[in-house]
């Protein structure tokens, strides 16, 4: 398991010429911590997550300064396959994450790509399906599931790679109350396993599982004390 993530004096803008979206972000997240990030729409929460997961600059481009380190190693020095195994991201819209013909195939996709043995892949499928509670959907086409069910499949497929860091980018927004509470419980279990969790949240009810809540406002990150967003 990783020991900590450090974001140091991070500046970011999608275009060099425009005013920066992130203006000197500093954040340290320790192993086993749950950090929630709140802020108005467009304040840059997803962008910060994309930087921490390496999606920026590997998949999306932009102008970044500062550093992001995992256990002291800059993200720039980590290969994409290494990062994918370390940091799992669950997005608000699961449709962007699901493309396999069955739930089982979806979950197997990551481990298959890493060439894990068949037996190990089977073990991981059963494990995450039970963990997330989607056994009855195992052989269904993810496209046929409800928004909340798709979200659970996306989470299961991310968990199958056993990442140390999990980023929930408004990932609970499509869940009904029952599913949401189940996932909040699962987040607590993941924390107990030593996973490090970053949650972007609009639903303040979900903040109860967080050890710390941070506010992203005007490009800066600070402790959230319940003030107006
Ligand atoms: N690829 C991109 N190119 C240019 N601008 C972008 C790109 N992606 C996002 N933006 C802009 O950056 C700003 C921050 O977006 P971001 O999605 O990070 O905000 P957010 O705080 O996560 O918002 P929300 O709560 O609505 O999800 C927005 O103004 C958005 O339009």
- Residue 13 Cβ < 6 Å to ligand 1: no
Across 70-86, b (16+ Cβ under 10 Å) vs e yields: beeeebeebeeeebbbb
CA of 61, closest atom in ligand 1: 1
Residue 31, both tokens: 């192993």
Best residue among 42, 55, 57, 61 to mutate for probing ligand 1's pocket (most ligand atoms within 8 Å of CB) is: 42
DSSP string, 64-98: EEEEEEETTEEGGGS-HHHHHHHEEEE-S-GGGT-
ipTM above 0.90, yes or no: yes
Bridge-based pairing of strands 4-13 and 63-70 is antiparallel
Rounded distance between C-alpha atoms, residue 189 and residue 135, angstroms? 19
Rounded distance between C-alpha atoms, residue 107 and residue 193, angstroms? 20
Q: What is the pTM of this model?
A: 0.95
- Residue 206 Cβ < 6 Å to ligand 1: no
- Residue 117 Cβ < 6 Å to ligand 1: no
141-194 pLDDT per residue, tens = 999 999 999 999 999 999 999 999 999 999 998 899 998 999 999 999 999 999
9-39 pLDDT per residue, tens = 999 999 988 899 999 999 999 999 999 999 9
């Amino acid at each position: 398991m990783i020991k900590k993530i450090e974001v140091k004096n991070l500046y970011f803008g999608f275009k060099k010429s425009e005013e920066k979206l992130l203006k000197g972000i500093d954040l340290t997240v320790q192993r086993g911590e749950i950090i929630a990030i709140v802020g108005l729409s467009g304040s840059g929460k997803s962008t910060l997550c994309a930087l921490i997961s390496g999606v920026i600059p590997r998949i999306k481009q932009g102008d970044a300064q500062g550093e992001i380190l995992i256990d002291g190693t800059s993200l720039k020095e980590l290969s994409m396959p290494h990062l994918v195994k370390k940091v799992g991201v669950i997005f608000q819209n699961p449709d962007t994450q699901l493309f396999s013909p069955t739930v089982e195939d979806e979950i197997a996709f990551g481990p298959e790509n890493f060439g894990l043995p068949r037996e190990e892949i089977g073990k991981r499928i059963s494990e995450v399906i039970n963990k997330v509670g989607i056994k009855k959907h195992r052989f269904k086409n993810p496209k046929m599931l409800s928004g909340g069910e798709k979200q659970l499949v996306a989470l299961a497929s991310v968990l199958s790679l056993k990442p140390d860091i999990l980023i929930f980018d408004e990932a609970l927004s499509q869940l009904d109350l029952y599913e949401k509470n189940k996932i909040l419980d699962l987040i607590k279990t993941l924390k107990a396993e030593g996973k490090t969790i970053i949650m972007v949240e609009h639903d303040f009810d979900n903040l109860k599982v967080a050890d710390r809540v941070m506010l992203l406002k005007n490009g800066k990150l600070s402790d959230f004390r319940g003030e107006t967003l």
